[in-house]
Structure 1
């Protein structure tokens, strides 16, 4: 039913009137650099197990986006990172996600696979396994990072118009 004052169909409890709002998930992650190389994690879980991704995952309750991105880097790559700035905000309506991607740097090059990663590696740009990236937004983040790596001031990116 459409609750009073709303304009969308919602699940509403017939007994008490509680409206069950279903909202998108927020994903936080980072393009992490160390001496010109980019940190990538090979996924040990579905979806896209065995494919490479940026350290990223769901934002937790009571957590800032920056803290969540740093936590994801620790969980997936045992990496201690320093967030530099927001790189992009990607909207993925097909899976009801909003992704906040940051530009970050490793504090030190000590990395190791966490429980959600089969492997982690630092890649030179020319070595990035482009055909084996897990999600389109990983490629977007990498390209947007490359566009801004020598800049300190830029507006955050959004989904590329061409989807590539």
Structure 2
């Protein structure tokens, strides 16, 4: 039978930040930012959006995105999220943006992407398990008052800027 861990909040030797450290064995329980991966997906001049079926912000619109899994590349994670949420297969383009959302301990990596034909007569997209609805919107018809998160507004704005002025490296935010 193992001894339960009891943690104290202190700065471990050789570190600069307070951490949870086990009194018994010295184990340091590091808490690090979560990586979110996703994409702004275009198809025939429109943008793919998903109405969320899960909290937070159930019923609001977003782009296909979610947490990176262990052992997964960021690019593979962005493609997986599009399949899970929108049954979509993507051709990833440039990295559109890297956003730091410090109050949520998130780093978001967002790509520009295009839908690709999945073949075998399959539809280009559909409703995945985490979505209530999936739709291609004309840029001028995006449901801007029903967008789930501030970063989605940023992504859409940055993609429109790239479309108007060309790609000049990934965008970011003030943090």
Aligned to 2:136: 122
Question: Secondary structure in 2 aligned to 1:149?
Answer: helix
Q: Which residue of 2 aligns with 1:22?
A: 31
Alpha-carbon distance in 1 for matches of 2:17, 2:68: 26
Instruction: Report the equivalent of 2:116.
Output: 107
Q: What is the match of residue 53 of structure 2? A: 44
Stretch of structure 1 that moved more, 129-138 or 150-159: 150-159
Is 1:138 the counterpart of 2:152 in the alignment?
Answer: yes
Which deviates the most, 144-153 or 37-46? 144-153
Q: Distance in 2 between matches of 1:151 and 1:47?
A: 34
Q: Say yes or no: does 1:156 pair with 2:170.
A: yes
1:4 aligns with 2:13: yes
**Once superposed, which parts of structure 1, at least 4 consecutive aligned residues long, lie more than 2 Å away?**
149-153
Measured in 2, the distance between the counterparts of 1:153 and 1:63 equals 26
Find the partner of 2:66 among 57, 75, 79: 57
Q: Normalised by the size of structure 2, how large is the TM-score?
A: 0.88
TM-score (norm 1): 0.94
- SS of the residue 2:136 aligns to: strand
In structure 2, C-alpha distance between the alignment counterparts of 1:62 and 1:7, rounded to whole Å: 28
Q: Secondary structure at the match of 2:92?
A: strand
CA distance in 1, matches of 2:23, 2:12: 11
2 CA distance for matches of 1:144 and 1:22?
30
CA RMSD across the alignment: 1.4
* Alignment deviations for residues 4-42 of structure 1 (CA, whole Å, 9 cap, x no partner): 111111000111111000011100000000011000000
Larger Rg: 2
Q: Helix, strand or coil for the counterpart of 1:113?
A: coil
Aligned residue pair count = 161
Task: Decide which of 84, 88, 91 is 1:82's aligned counterpart.
Answer: 91
Q: Structure 2 stretches of 5 or more lacking a match?
A: 1-9, 118-122
